[in-house]
Each structure stands twice: as structure tokens, then as C-alpha cells.
Amino acid sequence: MTIEEVVRVAEETARGASDSVRVIGVTASPEGSQYAEIVIDIECALSQTPHRISIGVFRDAPRTDVQQAIGQRLRQHLQECDTPLGGN
């Protein structure tokens, strides 16, 4: 996938996960590497300011794998932040 396609997949997945998720951007790594990092802001229930997370993906992985990795991380974070247990 190109960086643009990764952004599109990330945005689609983010929209499906929650209204409070916003894709900030995708950073590519040095040439020759398929590794990319997706930067996402999440407006969490327990936080005044959005939480920023980054998710590492490989652009040569199947699209469904990338979607799954993003969705999993988002759900995990939303779950952690919506639960007053743990933390502090």
C-alpha cells in the first residue's frame, strides 16, 4: 500500500471504531522499509485533552491485517480509558 492508502484505511477504521477518534497522519520510515506509523488522537472519556497514540504497521501486509491491527489498538485504548480501574 502507498502512504495515501494507509491513511485511507486508517480513517475508515477509525470512523468505524468511534466518533472520538481522529487520524492525524501517517509517517513513513526511511526508503526501502515498508514500516509506517499511524498517528491518531482519541478524545477519551476520562481525559480533558486527546490522547495521542501511534500504531506501527507494515505497508506490504494485507489490508485486512492493517485494518485489524488499527481496530484492535483503538478498541483496546478506548476500553482502557473508559474504565476507571487501573491507571493512577
The CB density around residue 63, as the number of other CB atoms within 10 Å, is 12
- Under a CB-based contact definition with an 8 Å cutoff, are residues 56 and 37 in contact? yes
Minimum Å gap between C-beta 44 and Zn ion is 3
Minimum Å gap between C-beta 11 and Zn ion is 19
CB nearer Zn ion, residue 15 or residue 75: 75
Residues 20-79 contacting Zn ion, CB under 5 A:
44, 51
Minimum Å gap between C-beta 45 and Zn ion is 8
CB nearer Zn ion, residue 15 or residue 63: 15
Cα torsion 32, 63, 44, 23: sign: positive
The H or E element that residue 56 is part of is strand 51-58
Q: Which residues bind Zn ion (CB under 5 A)?
A: 44, 51, 81
